[in-house]
Amino acid sequence: MMRRIRLIADDYGLAPGVSAGILDLLDRGRLTGTSCMTGFPEWPDAAALIKPLCSRAAVGLHLTLTDQPAVTGRSSLAPEGRLPPLRSLALPVLRGRVDERDVHAELDAQYSRFVEVLGRRPAFVDGHQHVHFLPVVRTWLRARFSEATEKPVLRGAPALGNAAVAPKVAAIAAVAAGFNRSMARAGFSIFAPLAGIYDWRQPERFAPVLHAAVETLPERGLFMCHPGHVDDTLRGRDPMQRVREVEFGVLASDAFGESLARAGVEIMDGRG
């Protein structure tokens, strides 16, 4: 029996080059699916390209509350119309300086843009910079899908134990504390355990992290990644650039395909 794992690419819709790289990998069978950022002007065009793949790829929503223009414009969340850096998000929400209703309105707007263009609910939900783990987003998830007979799957907490990235994983795991258990009680299924976290400022670390995941992830375990091609749009929106080309190259390579075969592993498609 082949062991099946999920490879999900973040950030579809962030820039045309990112979306093109992800579509290429989906065509090659090197990804299970991707999560979509719906707040940019190019979203309708990007959605039209991925819509035909929704029957075989897992296409989800990548909730975004940091560093990008707010779909809802100015609010207590985005006083100048731009979402705050991650370090400026969590504590102000907890202390009441950001109105929870403004956060929920932004998430509602991103969700609506997904459904309006693709004509379907997201297969799963995760978060840019893991914001779906924040309490205010957990509250939104429960409310938004409280009456849904079929809830989207949620990306779960990271797996601990990789010494090379232990501090980063531990920090994310702390924010995610109790997430899997509480959201499962609310009726959500969870993609877990999560692998793929490393210091993206050191692109050479991606291949070893990926190959370790191929060897160790359990059946249906999840590996997150950020492949794509760098273009002018990406340069103006996100500092995560060269590493996306590195990730794309590794995932598209014959060597990666050979490593899957040696390990007796196959990448699940979105129907699994």
- For 16-59, write each residue's pLDDT tens digit: 999 999 999 999 999 999 999 999 999 999 999 999 999 999 99
Residue 167: per-residue pLDDT: 77
Find the catalytic residue in 10, 11, 126, 269. 10
Q: Is the pLDDT of residue 171 over 80?
A: yes
Q: Can you give the pTM of this predicted structure?
A: 0.95
Q: Assess whether 232 carries a catalytic annotation.
A: no
CATH 3.40.50.10470 applies to domain 3-267:
no
Q: How confident is the model at residue 162 (pLDDT cuts 50, 70, 90)?
A: low
The kind and range of the H/E element at 102 are: helix 100-118
3-class state of residue 11 by DSSP: strand
- Give CA separation, 185 vs 138, 178, 181, 182, 188, in Å: 12, 11, 6, 5, 7
Under 8 Å between Cβ of 267 and 5? yes
3-class state of residue 131 by DSSP: helix
Strands (DSSP E) along the chain, which ranges? Answer: 3-12, 33-36, 58-63, 124-127, 153-155, 190-191, 194-195, 222-225, 265-267
Residue of 64, 50, 59, 42 lying closest to 109 (CA atoms): 64
Q: How confident is the model at residue 161 (pLDDT cuts 50, 70, 90)?
A: low
- For 102-150, write each residue's pLDDT tens digit: 999 999 999 999 999 999 999 999 999 999 999 999 999 999 999 998 9
How many Å apart are CA 227 and CA 64, to the nearest integer?
18
Q: Is the pLDDT of residue 75 over 80?
A: yes
Q: How confident is the model at residue 96 (pLDDT cuts 50, 70, 90)?
A: confident
Query: To which residue do tokens 């060597």 refer?
Result: 255
